[in-house]
Amino acid sequence: MTDRVIDRLLLNCLRAYPRARRERDGEVLLSLARELSAGGSSPWGEGAGLVRGGVAERLRLRYRGVRGLFRADHRRLRALSRVFRTNPNRSGLGDAAGRGHAGLGLADAPEAPHTVRARPLAPGGRRAACGGALGARPVRRTEQRRPWGRAYRRPVRPRLLCGDQVRSASSPRSCRSATRCHRFRHRRSCRGASPTQRPSVRGCLGGGGRRGFSSSPR
């Protein structure tokens, strides 16, 4: 592994730390990790140490009960945190972290028996837990609350068609409001197009009648 690759690896792992901490101590920490890896320590081990330290730091900032991270096999994890067992998602991680044991054998979850493993790998489970720990985008509640074992379907986002009024949104709008028309893939409104180009004038203007496009221009 070249020095450049090691630098990139360590730099990426350093991003596990909160921004304020990185700006304050990132250079010192990175120099130390480089020196240790140059002195015979494994760069992967140093990178893993940075990630673990960064995640622990984030968890400590968010949940005051967290003392640090540790590895645990799934049996120990279940014994430690019944909350996380029954609710293996982001909120479950938060509950477990509030009790002082977070981090939580997520890395060891694939080693668990299949029946147990299915839970952390269920939609919104393991990803949500990792995402919550790393400060990523929260997972939708519909995904969190879906019972395990049921077939999972990704929630369908309403597609905005020309002339469609988005009634579920806070402010009704049509495709004229600079929104992409998903059916015809044009960004602008079809209001100014010629009659042959616009499939449904009435639909585009939102002028009542039939919504959406017809297959042939009228």
Partner 1 sequence: MATPVLREPTYFILAALLDGPLHGYAIAQSARELSGGAVDPTAGTLYGALDRLAGQGLVEVDREEVVSGRRRRYHRLSDRGREVLVDEAARLRAAAEVVQRRAAGVNPSPSLPLQRKARLA
Residues that bind partner 1 (CB under 8 A): 25, 27-29, 31-36, 39, 41, 45-46, 48-54, 56-57, 68
For residues 48 and 13, the answer to whether their CB atoms sit within 8 Å is: yes
Nearer to partner 1 (CB atom), residue 19 or residue 141:
19
Phi, psi dihedral angles at 96 (to 5 degrees): -65, -40
Nearer to partner 1 (CB atom), residue 53 or residue 132:
53
Least distance (Å) from partner 1 to the CB of residue 31? 4
Which two structure tokens, joined as six digits, stand for 91? 């909120």
How far does Cα 57 stand from its chain's mean position? 19
Close Cβ partners of 169 (under 8 Å, ≥ 6 residues apart): none
Least distance (Å) from partner 1 to the CB of residue 35? 4
Nearer to partner 1 (CB atom), residue 12 or residue 41:
41
Nearer to partner 1 (CB atom), residue 57 or residue 164:
57
Least distance (Å) from partner 1 to the CB of residue 41? 7
Least distance (Å) from partner 1 to the CB of residue 93? 20
For 71-165, where are the alpha helices, taking DSSP H only? 74-80, 82-86, 90-98, 114-117, 126-134, 141-145
Least distance (Å) from partner 1 to the CB of residue 187? 46
d(CA 208, CA 12): 54
Read off the DSSP letter of residue 154. P
Nearer to partner 1 (CB atom), residue 34 or residue 176:
34
